[in-house]
């Protein structure tokens, strides 16, 4: 029987035939260089180009690579959750198929997951992005931190999670807001996180799909849903009950590390 990996990397890809191959190669090379037992789950989110064919070529060469396909685009969040549902490792991370992210930069922090539940990278070389993109990121971060009383430096990077905390979430955002949605919900449950610096590369080919009007609309919808679930009505009551139940279960059955993590998270500014 094939041994389960330590980490499952989910790679959403939509029309990334020029970039997904190098992204796969870099991820596998990072596994080797860092001596990490990992698997790479590429999720083709309804591509109309040769993205799927490129991935299959890599699958034939390396059995650590697998492919999941959507008939039509469902969103980067939906692609991420598709990978989570098929992940075999106790840790899960997401690297987009655009090859902007350096896998060495994120995977080198994997040992921190012995102490925390989530590792959140933040970009330290912001000059690689335009002034406009950095301005959007600043405004986005301010709105999120102010609305939900959190203190994140960045929420849209290559976050590494413990798989069990992901699979227990009662709601799954499917658009570009998915990562922020996950982090706010988990932090509100008391899970411990660490923020670490990482370097971002320039996108080699094509343009980002994050800064488009449809993506903006989906982000706004995701934000409003999270506000509603956090602060208003029956959904907020249900969320609070779920959080209270999760914390009680962790105190009873998860051992000293999780109880200590809970205290650490609550003491964070």
Q: Is residue 57 assigned to a domain?
A: yes
Q: Is residue 210 assigned to a domain?
A: yes
Task: Note the pLDDT of residue 209.
Answer: 53
CATH code at position 179: 3.90.550.10
DSSP secondary structure of the chain: -PPPPSEEEEEEESS-TTTHHHHHHHHHHHHHHTT--EEEEEEEES-SSSHHHHHHHHHHH-TTEEEEEESS---HHHHHHHHHHT--SSEEEE--TTS-B-HHHHHTTGGGGGT-SEEEEEES-GGGS-HHHHHHHHHHHHHHHHHHT---S-SSS--EEEHHHHHT-S----STTHHHHHHHHHHHTT--EEEEEE-BPPPSSS--SSSSHHHHHHHHHHHHHHHHHHHSHHHHHHHHHHHHHHHHHHHHHS-HHHHHHHHHHHT--
Task: Note the pLDDT of residue 244.
Answer: 55
Walking along the chain (269 residues) 10 residues at a time, the average pLDDT comes out as 80 96 97 97 97 98 97 95 97 95 94 96 76 86 96 93 93 94 95 92 55 77 94 58 50 35 34
Task: Note the pLDDT of residue 269.
Answer: 33
Task: Note the pLDDT of residue 217.
Answer: 87
Task: Note the pLDDT of residue 137.
Answer: 87
Q: Is residue 85 assigned to a domain?
A: yes
Task: Note the pLDDT of residue 103.
Answer: 94
Q: Is residue 2 assigned to a domain?
A: no
Task: Note the pLDDT of residue 135.
Answer: 86
Tell me how many domains the chain contains: 1
Question: What domain range is 224 assigned to?
Answer: 7-266
Q: Is residue 73 assigned to a domain?
A: yes
Q: Is residue 1 assigned to a domain?
A: no
Q: Is residue 213 assigned to a domain?
A: yes
């Amino acid at each position: 029987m094939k041994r389960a990996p330590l980490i499952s990397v989910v790679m959403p890809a939509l029309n990334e035939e020029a970039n997904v191959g190098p992204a796969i190669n870099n991820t596998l090379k990072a596994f080797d260089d860092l001596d990490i037992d990992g698997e790479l789950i590429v999720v083709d989110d309804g591509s109309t180009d040769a993205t799927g064919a490129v991935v299959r070529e890599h699958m034939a060469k390396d059995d650590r690579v697998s492919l999941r396909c959507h008939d039509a685009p469902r969103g980067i969040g939906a692609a991420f959750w598709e990978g989570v549902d098929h992940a075999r490792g106790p840790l899960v991370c997401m690297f987009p198929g655009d090859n902007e992210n350096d896998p060495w930069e994120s995977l080198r922090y994997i040992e921190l997951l012995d102490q925390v539940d989530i590792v959140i990278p933040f970009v330290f070389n912001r000059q690689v992005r335009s002034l406009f993109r950095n301005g959007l990121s600043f405004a986005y971060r301010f709105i999120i931190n102010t609305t939900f009383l959190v203190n994140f430096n960045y929420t849209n990077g290559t976050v590494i999670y413990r798989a069990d905390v992901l699979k227990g979430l009662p709601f799954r955002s499917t658009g570009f807001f998915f990562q922020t949605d996950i982090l706010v919900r988990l932090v509100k449950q008391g899970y411990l996180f660490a923020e670490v610096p990482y370097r971002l590369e320039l996108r080699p080919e094509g343009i980002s799909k994050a800064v488009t009007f449809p993506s903006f609309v989906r982000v706004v919808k995701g934000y409003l849903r999270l506000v509603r679930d956090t602060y208003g009505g029956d959904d907020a009551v249900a969320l609070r009950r779920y959080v209270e139940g999760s914390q009680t279960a962790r105190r009873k059955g998860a051992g000293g590390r999780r109880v200590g993590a809970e205290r650490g998270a609550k003491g964070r500014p």
